[in-house]
Structure 1
Amino acid sequence: MRTRSMFAAMFDDYGPASVLRFEESARPEPSPSQVLVQVVASGVSHMDGYVREGRFRDEIPLQLPARQGVSFAGIVRAVGRDVRSVKVGAEVLGHDPAHGAHATHIVVDADAVVRKPDRVPWEVAGALHLVGLTAYALVQELRLGPDDVVVVSAAAGGVGHIECQLARLAGARVIGIAGRENHDYLRSIGTRPVAYDGDLAEAIGVAAEGRSVTALLDNFGGYEDLGARLGVTKDRIRTSDRRREVEIDHWTAGADRAASIRLADVAELVSEWNLRVLVSGYYPFPNLVSAVEELEARHSRGVVVVGMNPSAPPKEYLRQRLRARYEASTAATA
């Protein structure tokens, strides 16, 4: 890589992950209100894929060729002359309103970044904006408290596993719907797991231990009838359509200082309140297509991240470690 150059993921037309390519260009200079960030890690989201595939052409029109990626964490390398809130060398996380965070360097408005707490690992910080703010907004809408029993579908997913923990922090009892291979993980974050198969309403009733279910967060889709069977009122059901609205709002957001303050709140929860964001795959940037394909296969729990210069063995070190631990624990109890 030449001095003052950068690489970014691009696509020339709508399509699957295979349409992504890397382009080298001159490193951008920040405008008076912007900062130049050297990206350390960037989250891979379903929204990135949906937009690239053309599912939201009406809501999110693209000018092709286009870049990809919205959530990132990195180091500020230059600041515009009017910027006072951020200094060169600061470690930050945030979002790229231009949707080009899958790159080695980006320029964003200073209001689009917040300080990265020292205790938050780079790979977690890089994914936090979209999944963290989506989960945070949906849980806040329900105003959960100690009297609540909330059911979360797709509970081990990127948004779902954060919702489970935020609901627990609010004092609610949390019941998570997930595949059986994720049940031990859900127990580890204080969530009572139930499987997709069988009579879900009955299984949830057992997990609730006689308490009434009062709220439902549906990340999977199609569980509104289940909510009705459980006696949950419509105003306390957040459907997958509502989740998509929230995600689109955060994905398309500009440099909104209020949103950045909420992101700082979520980062503080990770740093100080033991909100554990699970990274199931941490890929080197050149393996971005593999990272996207893993996420889109919907086999991973937690989040998938690309690192621009990861120091660990390439491709999937975290996923391999976690799966090895799971297999060892399963073998020990067989």
Structure 2
Amino acid sequence: MKAVKFEKYGGLEVLQLEEVAKPVAAKGQALVKVKAAGINPGEASIREGRLDKQFPTTFPSGEGSDLAGVIEAVGPEVSGFKVGDEIIGFSNNRASHAEYVLVDAENMILRPANVSWEVGGALFVAGTTAWASVKAVNVKAGDTVVVSGAAGGVGSIAAQLANALGATVIGLAGADNQEWLKSHGIIPITYGDGMADRIKAASNGKIDAFMDTYGHGYVDLALSLGIPKDKINTIIDFEAVAKHGVKSEGSAKAASAAVLSELAALIASGKLDIPIAKTFPLSQVREAYAELEKRHTRGKIVLIP
């Protein structure tokens, strides 16, 4: 089978599609034929060595957490799943960017029929990160919440989840994404000069929380707007976390099949939209990450083995 590997830290050039042995399901595991696997900025940071202290790497390394696929085999002591089941899940072993992956039974759910392979395969990291971010700032009905990168993979989900809880959501995004935000019940604000004034005008001076999914100074903006530190969550600006003591809760706080099931149910019922920006074959993994690094895609980028 083919799998994405890299043997040293570096840029896109270190990513290779290699032929490796198909794994065998052990106790509590299923072997899944991958139909779709999302990519995420954190994976690029790990591959570049920028997160070596937090997430050390043993080489050669695979990559990828998100996945959706079909169970090809099950190991001993797996209940609730069988060969042929269509599932959404995640791998904690940096292994989903491959034709086949081993998945712990506790880390997968049955795929709802009206959740596409691409959406299911892109759901785990972005969905659980957004879910954790909303919980971190304790969004409730009547709140006014600002989301940076509100049309991105995580931001688009966080904004919709906050809106579904009854909050007024102000989404910061580029001009090309204003209509999409508006169509999803989010107040669109373009970033750039005068942004703070536009946020104040849209919020009528009342801002309860800020979810930063982009970095680049948005925590400082949130503090300048008078938002308390415990109502600011960033998933990317760890320097600001160390400097200001704001929150930094992400997917690790919500990495469970229960949360995955909740998100999938929202998608299946039409209450949550996961935009798919582009899909790439596994052989074009470098091109996929090059597109991701532009940081201007709406929603998720997905690999199709």
Same fold, TM exceeding 0.5? yes
C-alpha distance in structure 1 between counterparts of 2:188 and 2:229, whole Å: 23
Report the CA distance between 1:232 and its aligned residue.
1.7
Structure (1 or 2) with the greater helix fraction: 1
For the pair shown, the structure with the greater C-alpha radius of gyration is: 1
Report the CA distance between 1:202 and its aligned residue.
1.3
Provide TM-score, normalisation by structure 2.
0.92
Report the CA distance between 1:245 and its aligned residue.
4.9
Contiguous gaps of at least 5 residues in structure 1: 1-5, 309-334
Counterpart of 2:140 in structure 1: which amino acid? G
C-alpha distance in structure 2 between counterparts of 1:245 and 1:59, whole Å: 14
Map residues 129-144 of structure 1 onto 2, 5 A cutoff.
129-144=124-139
Report the CA distance between 1:274 and its aligned residue.
2.1
C-alpha distance in structure 2 between counterparts of 1:200 and 1:278, whole Å: 25
Match of 2:187 among 180, 189, 192: 192
SS of the counterpart of 2:55? Answer: coil
2:23 equivalent to 1:20: no
Report the CA distance between 1:273 and its aligned residue.
4.2
- Counterpart for residue 213 of structure 2: 219
- Counterpart for residue 158 of structure 1: 153
2:223 equivalent to 1:228: yes
C-alpha distance in structure 1 between counterparts of 2:54 and 2:295, whole Å: 24
Report the CA distance between 1:196 and its aligned residue.
1.4
C-alpha distance in structure 1 between counterparts of 2:58 and 2:267, whole Å: 36
Alignment deviations for residues 160-203 of structure 1 (CA, whole Å, 9 cap, x no partner): 00011001100001101111121111112111111112222210
Q: Does structure 2 retain, via aligned residues, the 8 Å contact 1:47–1:247?
A: no
- Counterpart for residue 45 of structure 2: 50
Q: Does structure 1 retain, via aligned residues, the 8 Å contact 2:157–2:272?
A: yes
C-alpha distance in structure 1 between counterparts of 2:104 and 2:214, whole Å: 34
C-alpha distance in structure 2 between counterparts of 1:12 and 1:158, whole Å: 28
C-alpha distance in structure 1 between counterparts of 2:180 and 2:229, whole Å: 29
C-alpha distance in structure 2 between counterparts of 1:56 and 1:225, whole Å: 23
SS of the counterpart of 1:107? Answer: strand
Match of 2:106 among 108, 111, 134: 111
- Counterpart for residue 145 of structure 1: 140
Counterpart of 1:297 in structure 2: which amino acid? K
Alignment deviations for residues 281-328 of structure 1 (CA, whole Å, 9 cap, x no partner): 1111111111111001212121100111xxxxxxxxxxxxxxxxxxxx
Contiguous gaps of at least 5 residues in structure 2: none
C-alpha distance in structure 1 between counterparts of 2:179 and 2:12, whole Å: 31
User: Relative to 1, partners in 2 of residues 1:182 and 1:149: Cα closer, same or farther, differing over 3 Å?
Assistant: same
C-alpha distance in structure 2 between counterparts of 1:83 and 1:93, whole Å: 16
Q: Does structure 2 retain, via aligned residues, the 8 Å contact 1:117–1:268?
A: yes
User: Relative to 1, partners in 2 of residues 1:58 and 1:11: Cα closer, same or farther, differing over 3 Å?
Assistant: same
Q: Which moved more, 1:163-172 or 1:230-239?
A: 230-239
- Pairwise CA RMSD: 1.8
C-alpha distance in structure 1 between counterparts of 2:299 and 2:247, whole Å: 18
User: Relative to 1, partners in 2 of residues 1:213 and 1:244: Cα closer, same or farther, differing over 3 Å?
Assistant: closer
Q: How many residues in Structure 1 have an aligned counterpart in Structure 2?
A: 296
Counterpart of 1:178 in structure 2: which amino acid? A
Report the CA distance between 1:141 and its aligned residue.
2.0
- Counterpart for residue 276 of structure 2: 279
Match of 1:91 among 78, 86, 92: 86
C-alpha distance in structure 1 between counterparts of 2:247 and 2:51, whole Å: 11
Provide TM-score, normalisation by structure 1.
0.84
SS of the counterpart of 2:59? Answer: coil
Map residues 56-75 of structure 1 onto 2, 5 A cutoff.
56-75=51-70
Report the CA distance between 1:19 and its aligned residue.
1.0
- Counterpart for residue 127 of structure 1: 122
Report the CA distance between 1:122 and its aligned residue.
0.4
Q: Which moved more, 1:215-224 or 1:66-75?
A: 215-224
Counterpart of 1:302 in structure 2: which amino acid? G
